[in-house]
Structure 1
């Protein structure tokens, strides 16, 4: 058996070997001995070395040395609240906050407001692709169906309403006051009596773990809610509608039938929307299959936060962006300029006159890059590393400075 290469193990075996070589007994009489080559030297050692004074002294030194590390910061992991209060994941809208969940909610607010402020239907059905762990699903359920504008955080579902105040841990970092945040949310959330209710919700995510967590959370909310609405989250490839099977296919088919009946009867009671919040640029082979399916089969309007290319990108920046796409598993072909993006929507069947694109880059990339850097510094004393997010922060900072990529809110009405 070869001794381990760790420092403590080396010292232990060397001490054992020194004492065994002092023994007068022939090697053949030693109990349970073996020859082991280590550091180009031959040692005769016991499988279980006897305890000698030198070895006892070594153990005492080792124990005294490690005792000082018993009360470090490793126990921080025991103080982390589980289950997590939120599992948001998007680039966020950082104009009024430095808090990550608040910024993620604000980005969704920007999209919902742009799409639904002028909505005439009394109810909406939403197909939400790339829905993650269900935070945006729960948020929209409360956005449409919760009558209280000051509802607090639900520790079991892990969501806050649009008007919730920032957590105390980040309160000092938030640029706007608590009342300012509430005012901002109230302006971005439609408050008119004609605000539509959520009739049905279908969430789709490619990650099984996210689908399982999101489904459990949305069903918990349904059981506790006084409002009745249909909601499910499925694990599937949203980019390829032809691959949908099982319960997802049944739910989509039911939505297709309802949309067709409304279209035939010219009924405006319920409208259908496809939502893609910070996810569409990941879709393979492209955005077009889902956009065409949403327009032709679901009679759905489209709302999204998406990424498009600058009109003045250089060849050098294009090469760097290709490397970023390779590292993030995003097809480079999905990064197109605004004109090509509109043409894509027209190809899917949408009227170019109904397409609205608004650039919010200045409140997106820079804020996220700064947050990741700040969070990395805060986590370092506790031995928590942000890993891939540190690399992502450099990309976001580059986009914020050079405007190679633009973050836009997109609305295309059916």
Structure 2
């Protein structure tokens, strides 16, 4: 599962045209990561070596890991934030595993993990706003990443994307869920019930074309927007993975529990194509 998450991140970074451009010619960049979980992607993006044993499941050549002068992670899960912060503290304590090479000006990258609701930028406190403003002023290029999180944002993903475009003057990248343009009325009705159970507002389920049009309305250049459908590599394989785990657990008299519903849902998405998994990149 760790490898799958890493591969999804790499697909996003590749679609965004990012690469490990280390050295004095590297651009000064900032990355705002919306929903960093337990810090797996934070360590992968900002460390040149694994820090803990669990990091090894993520590790590869990191060919798409660009250099970031500032990394700002935002999550509203306080428990995950504390756990991720401990991992980042370990990274900072070991200078031989420092995030990225020193920048041209001799400085080192800054990593900040904060608790806030990523979907509501107007609610962010002064500390977060100050860090974002400093990152904006101190860099040439800014990116906002939503790795498998934006469809959870309530009331919708659009306030944060508008903020990224207008306030941060940043590009947007992430993996998101869209509604198939060929979905039937019955499929839409069933999906609307499921989205309530999975904590994903129905307002987020637009078609890939609708997603693109909204990005254009916000102000992103149509020629700088890409939507890449990777559904076949996500839903059916994930359902198969969960089935394998379920079969192993049943040998012990256990089961997936509530994740059994997720297994059935992903299997349905994979068979019918009613939900599309899309990598979205909108460059500023």
Corresponding position: 1:160 with 2:56: yes
TM-score by length of 2: 0.88
- In structure 2, the residue matched to 1:285 is 155
Per the TM alignment, residue 246 of structure 1 is displaced from its structure 2 partner at its CA by: 4.5
Corresponding position: 1:358 with 2:228: yes
- In structure 2, the residue matched to 1:254 is 134
In the alignment, the residues of structure 2 paired with residue 233 and residue 332 of structure 1 have an alpha-carbon distance, to the nearest angstrom, of 29
In the alignment, the residues of structure 2 paired with residue 391 and residue 271 of structure 1 have an alpha-carbon distance, to the nearest angstrom, of 41
- In structure 1, the residue matched to 2:113 is 233
Higher RCO, Cα 8 Å, sep 6+: 2
- In structure 1, the residue matched to 2:16 is 115
- In structure 2, the residue matched to 1:130 is 35
The runs of 5 or more residues in structure 2 that have no matched partner are 101-107
Per the TM alignment, residue 162 of structure 1 is displaced from its structure 2 partner at its CA by: 5.5
Paired residue secondary structure (1:131): coil
What is the aligned length? 270
- In structure 2, the residue matched to 1:211 is 81
Q: Deviations over 1:181-218 (max 9, x none)?
A: xxxxx5x834xxxx741211011112111111111112
Paired residue secondary structure (1:219): helix
Whether contact under 8 Å (1:309, 1:335) holds in the other structure is yes
Paired residue secondary structure (1:213): helix
- In structure 2, the residue matched to 1:189 is 63
In the alignment, the residues of structure 2 paired with residue 126 and residue 330 of structure 1 have an alpha-carbon distance, to the nearest angstrom, of 24
Whether contact under 8 Å (2:164, 2:170) holds in the other structure is yes
In the alignment, the residues of structure 1 paired with residue 70 and residue 272 of structure 2 have an alpha-carbon distance, to the nearest angstrom, of 41
Per the TM alignment, residue 258 of structure 1 is displaced from its structure 2 partner at its CA by: 3.0
Q: Deviations over 1:45-93 (max 9, x none)?
A: xxxxxxxxxxxxxxxxxxxxxxxxxxxxxxxxxxxxxxxxxxxxxxxxx
Gap change, CA 1:247 and 1:138, over 3 Å in 2: same
Per the TM alignment, residue 124 of structure 1 is displaced from its structure 2 partner at its CA by: 2.2
Q: 361-370 vs 109-118, which deviates more?
A: 109-118
- In structure 1, the residue matched to 2:272 is 402
In the alignment, the residues of structure 2 paired with residue 343 and residue 125 of structure 1 have an alpha-carbon distance, to the nearest angstrom, of 26
Out of 128, 138, 141, which is 2:46 matched to? Answer: 141
Q: Provide runs of 4+ in structure 1 moved above 4 Å.
A: 118-121, 161-164
Gap change, CA 1:205 and 1:364, over 3 Å in 2: same
Q: Deviations over 1:94-145 (max 9, x none)?
A: xxxxxx1111111111001111347895232100001111111111113xxx
- In structure 2, the residue matched to 1:337 is 207
Per the TM alignment, residue 383 of structure 1 is displaced from its structure 2 partner at its CA by: 5.1
Corresponding position: 1:391 with 2:261: yes
The runs of 5 or more residues in structure 1 that have no matched partner are 1-99, 165-185, 260-269
Per the TM alignment, residue 384 of structure 1 is displaced from its structure 2 partner at its CA by: 4.7
Q: Aligned-pair RMSD on alpha carbons?
A: 2.1
Gap change, CA 1:299 and 1:121, over 3 Å in 2: farther
- In structure 2, the residue matched to 1:103 is 4
Paired residue secondary structure (2:52): coil
Whether contact under 8 Å (2:3, 2:57) holds in the other structure is no
Per the TM alignment, residue 240 of structure 1 is displaced from its structure 2 partner at its CA by: 0.5
TM-score by length of 1: 0.61
Q: Deviations over 1:9-55 (max 9, x none)?
A: xxxxxxxxxxxxxxxxxxxxxxxxxxxxxxxxxxxxxxxxxxxxxxx
Gap change, CA 1:341 and 1:271, over 3 Å in 2: same
Paired residue secondary structure (1:159): helix
Whether contact under 8 Å (1:121, 1:271) holds in the other structure is no
